[in-house]
Amino acid sequence: MCIGACTSLIYRESISRGSKGVIKLSEYRLEMHNIVKTFPGVKALDGAQLRLRPGTVHALMGENGAGKSTLMKCMFGIYHMEEGELIYEGEKVQINGPLDALNRGIAMVHQELQPIPERSIGENIYVGRYPMKKYGPVEVIDHDKMYEDAARVLEEVHLNFDPKAKLGSLSVSQMQLVEIAKAVSADCKVLILDEPTSSLTSAEVEALFTIINELRSKGVSIVYISHKMDEILRISDEVTIMRDGQYIGTWSAKELTTDFIITKMVGRELSELYPVRENVPGEVVFEVEDFTSINPKSFRQISFQLHKGEILGVAGLVGAQRTELMEGLFGLRSHTTGKITYKGQEIKISQPKDAINNGIAMLTEDRRATGILGVLSIADNVSIASLNQYLIGKVMLDDAKIEKLVQENVAKLSIKTPSSKTQIQALSGGNQQKVLISRWLANDPEVFIMDEPTRGIDVGAKYEIYCIIAEMAKQGKSIIMISSEMSELIGMSDRIMVMCDGRVTGFIDGKEANQENIMALATQFE
C-alpha cells in the first residue's frame, strides 16, 4: 500500500517483454503522462511517460539527449511542460518550482552539482529552508537547530562529516554524498538521483546502495538515472527507457539483460563496448620526475613516462590525488620539486597557458565547475582555447573559420545541438562533454590529459569517445586517462599507473590488468 495519504491508482498492463508499459498490476505514487517540452529548435520531450510505485527503485535510462534529466526537471518544477499531466498521490498537480516540489516531498540530486563551497555543510543541506527562530521582533536563522538537524541527517546516511565544516573542503564525490543527505533531510516521498555514482568509488557506491535500500524499505519512490548497467540491474526494480525524448517502454529489471537495454536505448546493437585499437606506442615524449605538491597532504615524488601514441590509464581510489597531480602538471596547482621533460627538453609549467603552448591539453573532471562556459555558445566554448588561430589582422575573429571548425566537430563527435549559437548549458551532459573534447582537439594537442572523460555519458556516446581516444592514439597523440571505472581503464589502456594516498604504487601492463591487481596497488598505503 502507499504510505500516508497516497491514493491508489490501478493500471492493468501487459507483461510481454517487447511491449510498451511492461509492469504488473500495482499502485502508483506519481505518474507523468504524455509530457511535451520544447527548447528553441529542439523537442526535448515528445509524449514522455513515467509511473512510480512506492517502495521501489525505478531506473530511467537512455542515451545523452534522450530527455531523462529534462523529464525529471519537469517533475521537480525547474522546467514548465507545455503538454501533459502530472498525477501525485492520486491528484493532478502542477509543480511551481523546486521549493514547491520539496514541500510536496519530491527531492532531486542533480547530475551537475550546484554547491556553495564557501558555506558550511549544514547551510548547504538546508539552503532555502533554514529553521528560523524569533530574535526580538524579527526572525533569524536558528543555527543551533540547523547544525543539530544536519548532524542527525549526516549520521542517518552514514556520513562522518562535521556539519560546520566548509563544503569546499570536501572532494567532488563527498559533495555528491552531501547532496544525497540534503534530499533525505527533506523527508521525501519521491527521490530523484541523476547519475549519483558518477564520481564515487566502489566503497562509496556500496554506502549509497545501503542508503537507497533503507529508503526503499521506508516506502520512498526512487528514480535512479545511470549509464552503469551493472548498477541498474543490481539496484532497480523497474526500468523505463527513453530515446530521442520519447517513451520506449518499461520492464521489470529482473527480465532485462545489458544487451537488451543497450539495443532499446540506442535503437541498434553494439557488438563491442571498446573499439579495436591500432595504436603502437613509440618513444618517450613526456616524462615526469620527482614531482611533489606544495601541499604536503597531496601528491609527492611522482615519476612516470608517457610514450608517443600511448594511452596511459591512471587508477586509484578517492583521495589518491590523481586529479590533483594532473592539475599540477597542467599548471593549475603549485609544486615544490619536480622536473617535466617534453620531447627531450625540460619545460616549466606554472600556469595553464604554459601547458597549452607546449601542446598539452586537459579535460577536467567537473565539466560544470571547471569546463563549460555555460552562458556562452557552443562556438565560443569550442574555440576559446585556440582563438589565436582564428584572427584576422591580429585584431578581429574570423567567424567563418570558427563556424567551420564548430561544424566539423559537431559532425565528427555527433553533438546534438540546434546550432552553433546555442548556449552550451542547454545541452545534455554528454553533449557538453563532447564540446569540451572538441575545444582541445581544435588546439591539436600532442599530450591530452583526460580526467573522467566519460563521466555521466551513456553507453553509445562512451563508445564514440573511446573511438576518438583510440584514433588520437593511432595518430601518435599521447593520452593520460583518469577513470574511476576499472572496466574502462582495462578496456582502453596500454599501461595503467596506480596511485594511493598521493604516491605512485605501481604500473600494470594493459594486457595483464584486472580488478584484483589494480585494487591491490590502489590500497597499498604506507
pLDDT, tens digit, 9 for 90 and up, residues 191-217: 999 888 876 777 788 888 998 999 999
Q: DSSP letter string over 108-141? A: EE-SS----TTSBHHHHHHTTS--EEEETTEEEE
Indicate if the pLDDT at residue 24 is higher than 60: no
Using pLDDT thresholds of 50, 70 and 90, give the confidence band for residue 236.
very high
What is the Cα–Cα distance from 166 to 143, expressed in whole angstroms? 15
The C-alpha atoms of residue 349 and residue 236 are separated, in whole angstroms, by 47
218 contacts: CB under 8 Å, gap ≥ 6: 3, 55
Which residue is associated with the grid cell 533531510?
185
177 pLDDT more than 70 = yes
Cell of 469: 581516444
Report strand pairing: 138-141 vs 396-397.
Answer: unpaired
Q: What is the model's pLDDT at position 271?
A: 55
The DSSP secondary-structure symbol of 406 reads H
Please state the rounded mean pLDDT for residues 443-455: 90
Give the model's pLDDT for residue 11: 33
Q: How far apart are CA 490 and CA 313, in angstroms?
A: 8
pLDDT above 70 covers what percent of the chain?
Answer: 93
The amino acid that residue 505 corresponds to is T
CB 464 within 8 A of CB 438: no
Is the model's pLDDT at 432 over the cut of 70?
yes
| pLDDT tens figures, 366-394 | 777 778 887 888 888 888 888 888 888 77
Measured CA to CA, the distance from residue 164 to residue 169 in angstroms comes to: 11
Residue 128 has pLDDT above 70, yes or no: yes
**Do the bridges between strand 302-307 and strand 238-243 make them parallel or antiparallel, or are there none, so unpaired?**
unpaired
Q: Which pLDDT belongs to residue 231?
A: 87
153 phi/psi in degrees, rounded to 5: -65, -45
Q: Compute φ and ψ for 45, nearest 5 degrees.
A: -130, 135
Given this model, what pLDDT does residue 47 score?
A: 94
* Cβ–Cβ < 8 Å for 130, 146: yes
Count of beta carbons in the 10 Å neighbourhood of residue 218: 12
Closest among 376, 365, 441 to 410, alpha carbons compared: 441
Residue 516 exposed, middle or buried by CB count within 10 Å (0-12, 13-18, 19+): exposed
Tell me, what amino acid is at 452?
E
Question: Looking at residue 18, what is its pLDDT?
Answer: 37
526 C-beta neighbours (distance < 10 Å), count: 7
Between CA 306 and CA 313, with CA 307 as vertex, the angle to 5 degrees is 55
- The whole-number pLDDT of residue 41 equals 62
Report residue 314: phi and psi, to 5°.
Answer: -125, 115
Element (H, E) at 491: helix 486-492
